[in-house]
Amino acid sequence: MSIFLTLLRRELAAFFYSINGYLIIAAVALLIGESFSTVIAILGSDPSPMPVTELFYSTNYFWMIVLLAAPVMTMRLFALEKASGTFETLMTTQIGDVAVVAAKFCGAIFFYLVAWLPLLLCLLIVGHYARQHTGLDAGTVGGMFLGIFLIGCLFISLGCFASAITNSQMAAAMVSFVLGMSLFSLAFLAKALPPNSDLTQIIPYFNLFDQMDSFARGVVDTRVIIFYLSASFFFLFLTLRVVESRRWK
């Protein structure tokens, strides 16, 4: 456990000691700010029945952030260590592969959540100046961030996998972007297909849009939580297999 914490500290240091980390945070903050100004414009023109968090989600900047930021955050994780050779020094110590994958994933998720913090500030500003407080309560904010966390888990585990299979950061970012876009397209497909047809029993689970929309409204469905967590575990498992693969004969 203490070795895991040591590794996690090092991962977080790699994010926060580098200019890249702050560039990513700034870019995400910019997109959140854009969506904030859009939300303010909507709220100013006509009153909306939607909760503020759902308004934020409906600006679609949300997907831009997830699709672009996750590959950029994760591309470094394994690819850079492999390219620079530190992967070799790392893997010849007494740490297990599981600890390495877990620490890298947790570090990236933490950084991802930190990058989302400006949204909380935006919500507080809206909440502070809104005349009525029904549009914003702890439930909707909590639901929104739970959704952000779960979708983050999925896309960052995808990114981990992409980074583990190559030693070029560029290739890692592209692979994880393409995988992310495929998931995104699958969500379109899931939305377009008629519900309850036998063939597509699994497809509706990929309807990321409606799921995230419910989270933004403060509706939490355990089936969805389990779907996201198991999908993330699946990709982390694949990552682990890739990391182990150098030991295969």
134, exposed or middle or buried, with CB in 10 Å at 0-12, 13-18, 19+? Answer: exposed
User: For residue 60, which amino acid is it?
Assistant: N
> For residues 142 and 94, is the Cβ–Cβ distance under 8 A?
no
Is residue 195 a contact point for other proteins (CB under 8 A)?
Answer: no
**Binding track over 23-42 against other proteins, x by CB under 8 A:** --------------------
Give the end-to-end CA distance of the chain in Å, rounded to a whole number: 30
Tokens of 248: 């295969």
Is residue 89 a contact point for other proteins (CB under 8 A)?
Answer: yes
Helical residues (DSSP H) of 46-196, grouped into ranges: 52-58, 61-74, 76-84, 86-91, 97-129, 138-164, 169-192
Is residue 106 a contact point for other proteins (CB under 8 A)?
Answer: no
Is residue 196 a contact point for other proteins (CB under 8 A)?
Answer: no
Q: Which is nearer to other proteins, 68 or 91 (CB)?
A: 91
Is residue 13 a contact point for other proteins (CB under 8 A)?
Answer: yes
Is residue 93 a contact point for other proteins (CB under 8 A)?
Answer: yes
Q: Which is nearer to other proteins, 98 or 120 (CB)?
A: 98
CA distance linking residue 211 with residue 202, whole number of Å: 14
> For residues 45 and 120, is the Cβ–Cβ distance under 8 A?
no
CA distance linking residue 99 with residue 152, whole number of Å: 20
Is residue 244 a contact point for other proteins (CB under 8 A)?
Answer: no
Is residue 98 a contact point for other proteins (CB under 8 A)?
Answer: no
- Select from 23, 60, 85, 188 the one that contacts other proteins (CB under 8 A): 85
- Select from 44, 45, 49, 92 the one that contacts other proteins (CB under 8 A): 92
- Select from 37, 60, 86, 182 the one that contacts other proteins (CB under 8 A): 86
Tokens of 147: 């959704």
Residues that bind other proteins (CB under 8 A): 2-3, 6-7, 10, 13-14, 17-18, 84-86, 88-95, 246-249
